[in-house]
Amino acid sequence: MKTYDAIVIGSGMAGGWAAKELTERGLETLVLEAGRPISPEKDYVEHVPMWEMKFRGMGDRKRLAQTQPIQQQCYACDEMASKFFVNDLENPYTTPDGKPFSWIRGRQVGGRSIMWGRQVYRWSDLDFEANAREGIAVDWPIRYADIAPWYDHVEKFIGITGQAEGLPQLPDGQFLKPMALNCVEQMVRDAVGKAWPGERMVTIGRCAVLTEAHNGRAACHYCGPCHRGCITRSYFSSVNATLPAAAATGKLTLRPFSVVQSITYDRKTGRATGVRVIDGQTKHALEFKSRIVFLCASTIESARILLLSGIANSSGQVGKNLMDHVMGGGANGRIDGPVDKDTIGNRPNGIYVPRFRNIGKGKSPFLRGYGFQGGGGRSDWGRGMEQAGFGAAFKASLRKPGPWGFSLYGFGEMLPNEANTVELDKEKKDAWGIPVARISCAYGENEKALVHDMSISAAEMLAEAGAHDIQPYTSDNPPGLVIHEMGTARMGKDPKTSVLNAHNQSWDVPNLFITDGACMASTACQNPSITYMALTARAAAYAVDAMKRNEL
Amino acid sequence: MNRREVLLLLAGTAALPDELLAMGRTVHKRIRAGALRALTPQQNETVATIAELIIPKTDTPGAREAGVPAFIDVMLADWANDEQRQMFTAGLANVDERSRTAFEKNFAGCTPQQQTQILEDLDYELARLRDTKSDTSKNFFSAMKWLTLTGYYTSEVGSTSELHYRVVPGRYEPCYTIEQP
């Protein structure tokens, strides 16, 4: 049997980066992907107009309720893009009664990098030091200085649009030119900056969409529904960028339909020897050998695979401390923006309000903080449903854009908690006969306090900007729905209390690296993908150097 | 022009958004108006008449020409649940009842003035529900208006001739000046 230099499990955000970095550093690499192959020419559907969709974008409600009851909770699982989400019947998981968890998944080449939200924010030492400062969970074994060059490395390749602001809590990156704020967003930015100087601010979102041609990929053409694919490769996904780069080295073997059952392990050497797979189509068992393994299957899948393999768990921490972000506090309002102005094009990005709670002076009655995403715009014909009238005058009124509105929606940090776990279900199996994950996870008091505060501070900012009809709100979402799962195989400084060291290397199995969200020791409040990507690239460089030194 | 050529052009200088229309999409069968599946021909005519009264033909086509009745039939057959479908057809029967009481004719046989009068009543009753923050989910005219507006503004005719919608705008302008606000 051929022995690859490396096997990467998963081809999404992290797996794509592992594939690129390992192949570019000379390793013969096999990427195992559970789902089907994706061909942009055949599979991308972002330019299908509404009138060619049977339900005009509202989705095949009956089919969704039958086969994707969980996946359809995600806005992106729509009439065209639901094919990028798993079939819930084939991919079940269990939760205890009264503890729902919404696990949103993509099983195909590219994983969830095809439908991700594309927002990218660096972490700072405010985040890396938080656990140590507050005595919560375990300290991160790295600081901003360790990861900063890898953020640079990743951002230069994928292309990030954003505005440099010089904030200590949200370091600037390698930005392409920023997207523009529209009329009312500028109004709100000015008002917030004036009312809370040096504290709160509104900036344009930082996102992995190209505003100029970059590394052979075209600039955005502002069609809008990024989650359906992008034929010009203008947003980053592993299908659009990292996997083609890996393939270009001639050292990549990509095997779709490879449902990983376990990582094989040699007790004598204490090393991983390869990966056991069930073929997704034939359901035959297969085995592949390699010198190192990168586990990038996503937070919950990676924990499941480790538990199925029975390795890397001398700390007992595998599957513990499952986290997500918390969302759902915010406010909407109307703004008296200019009646003679509107926007053209669908900007695939919004505004961002960087975290302002518990930084510097002033303490809040909760730990950590949150950021806001959102934006302003004019309402469209949809307002007609809430409006009295019909006939020619009614039609004429809907031809014009409606009033300007503004929305702020909070995303907050979730604290690690050992009671939030991923285990193997003792009875249930998936369509490939593999025991499924049992997920037990709930938000705590701190997360609830964050959501409450989001609604108040959002309403304050809208009021300061002169908005009227302000509607603050909180909502009670199950964890999972932010789709930022983290934890379950955390990095740390001590093998007794963590699964991975400072290089995402298993303390117990030195030729095993885990670089997806599983490695995170805390969540910060920023969207996490860029940090997974940077940690993956960093771990790959470390692994290849260690192989050269014959350490693995 | 193949995809590679378009990519080269886009990566180079000016964008060619129209060329992109043909890409990033699977080929879909045009949805044709076929045989009715949820509604009887008489119900369909009532639906078409109401839809055209909500969004009439003006300098641009109205609901009939945009295929709204066929869309509503599809939604009732394949999207709505049993309860919603029954609510809708009961609402259509109620419209006929109202017109027989007031004008001794079924709705479709009334004059446009008489039909408008019945719609004004329905619209007023819906507005009352909304104003009193009552449940509108079981109101026929609420469903009818939602289906008509959705069917019209997402149709090819409504999207392009009424709203000047483009699948690929090709640019983002944050503060564009509207000629006739």
* Subunit contact B176:A342, Cβ cutoff 8 A: yes
Burial class of residue B4 in the structure, from the number of CB atoms within 10 Å of its CB (0-12 exposed, 13-18 middle, 19+ buried): exposed
Closest CA to A301 of A261, A256, A267: A261
User: Which tens digit of pLDDT belongs to each residue from B55-83?
Assistant: 999 999 999 999 999 999 999 999 999 99
The tokens describing A7, both together, are 């096997």
Closest CA to A125 of A111, A136, A139: A139
Checking if the pLDDT of B154 tops 70, the result is yes
Secondary structure element (H or E) that encloses residue B77, with its range: helix B68-78
- Interface mutation vs chain A, best among B72, B84, B175, B176, most A CBs within 10 Å: B175
From residue B173, alpha-carbon distances to A160, A181, A485, A512 in Å are 20, 9, 35, 48
| Distance, CA of B65 to CA of B87 (rounded, Å) | 26
| Distance, CA of A122 to CA of A118 (rounded, Å) | 13
* Confidence (pLDDT) at B30: 53
Angle subtended at Cα A414 by Cα A11 and Cα A524, rounded to the nearest 5 degrees? 70
* Subunit contact A56:B71, Cβ cutoff 8 A: yes
Task: Enter the CATH code of domain A1-51+87-159+236-320+418-441+485-552.
Answer: 3.50.50.60
> CA of A80, closest CA in chain B: separation in Å?
10
Q: Considering CB atoms only, which of A55, A221, A388 is closest to B15?
A: A221
Checking if the pLDDT of B168 tops 60, the result is yes
The three-state DSSP-derived secondary structure of A147-208 is: HHHHHHHHHHHHCEECCCCCECCECCCCEECCCCCCHHHHHHHHHHHHHCCCCCCCEECCEC
Residue A415 backbone dihedrals phi, psi, to 5 degrees: -75, 145
Strands A160-161 and A258-266 turn out to be unpaired
Residue with tokens 């929606």: A409
Checking if the pLDDT of B28 tops 60, the result is no
From residue B36, alpha-carbon distances to A65, A166, B69, B108, B171 in Å are 25, 62, 10, 18, 41
Q: Which residues of B touch A345 (CB under 8 A)?
A: 169-173
Secondary structure element (H or E) that encloses residue A145, with its range: helix A144-158
Q: Which residues of B touch A49 (CB under 8 A)?
A: 156, 159, 167
Q: Quick one: angle between helices A13-24 and A529-548, nearest 10?
A: 30
Closest CA to A207 of A62, A375, A322, A386: A375
| Distance, CA of A451 to CA of A412 (rounded, Å) | 7
| Distance, CA of A177 to CA of A161 (rounded, Å) | 6
Checking if the pLDDT of B7 tops 90, the result is no
The reply to whether A66 touches chain B by the CB within 8 Å rule is: no
* Subunit contact B153:A381, Cβ cutoff 8 A: yes
* Confidence (pLDDT) at B32: 56
Q: Which residues of A touch B64 (CB under 8 A)?
A: none
Strands A326-335 and A160-161 turn out to be unpaired
| Distance, CA of A36 to CA of A13 (rounded, Å) | 16
Tens-digit pLDDT string for chain A (552 aa) = 899 999 999 999 999 999 999 999 999 999 999 999 999 999 999 999 999 999 999 999 999 999 999 999 999 999 999 999 999 999 999 999 999 999 999 999 999 999 999 999 999 999 999 999 999 999 999 999 999 999 999 999 999 999 999 999 999 999 999 999 999 999 999 999 999 999 999 999 999 999 999 999 999 999 999 999 999 999 999 999 999 999 999 999 999 999 999 999 999 999 999 999 999 999 999 999 999 999 999 999 999 999 999 999 999 999 999 999 999 999 999 999 999 999 999 999 999 999 999 997 778 999 999 999 999 999 999 999 999 999 999 999 999 999 999 999 999 999 999 999 999 999 999 999 999 999 999 999 999 999 999 999 999 999 999 999 999 999 999 999 999 999 999 999 999 999 999 999 999 999 999 999 999 999 999 999 999 999 999 999 999 999 999 998
Closest CA to A8 of A211, A281, A246: A246
> CA of A209, closest CA in chain B: separation in Å?
13
Q: Considering CB atoms only, which of B10, B25, B150 is closest to A45?
A: B25
The three-state DSSP-derived secondary structure of B44-68 is: HHHHHHHHHHHCCCCCCCCCCCCCH
From residue A276, alpha-carbon distances to A90, A101, A265 in Å are 20, 28, 10
Q: Which residues of A touch B10 (CB under 8 A)?
A: 213, 218-219, 221, 232
- Three-state secondary structure call for residue A289: strand
The tokens describing A53, both together, are 């969709």
The reply to whether B31 touches chain A by the CB within 8 Å rule is: yes
- pTM reported for the whole predicted model: 0.95
| Distance, CA of A348 to CA of A223 (rounded, Å) | 8
For residue B1, name the pLDDT band (cuts at 50, 70, 90).
Answer: very low
* Subunit contact B172:A391, Cβ cutoff 8 A: no
| Distance, CA of A221 to CA of A215 (rounded, Å) | 17
Residue B137 backbone dihedrals phi, psi, to 5 degrees: -70, -20
* Subunit contact B173:A400, Cβ cutoff 8 A: no
The residues facing A414 across adjacent strands are none
* Subunit contact A51:B31, Cβ cutoff 8 A: yes
* Subunit contact A233:B3, Cβ cutoff 8 A: no
Q: Considering CB atoms only, which of B25, B116, B119 is closest to A47?
A: B25
* Subunit contact B168:A221, Cβ cutoff 8 A: yes
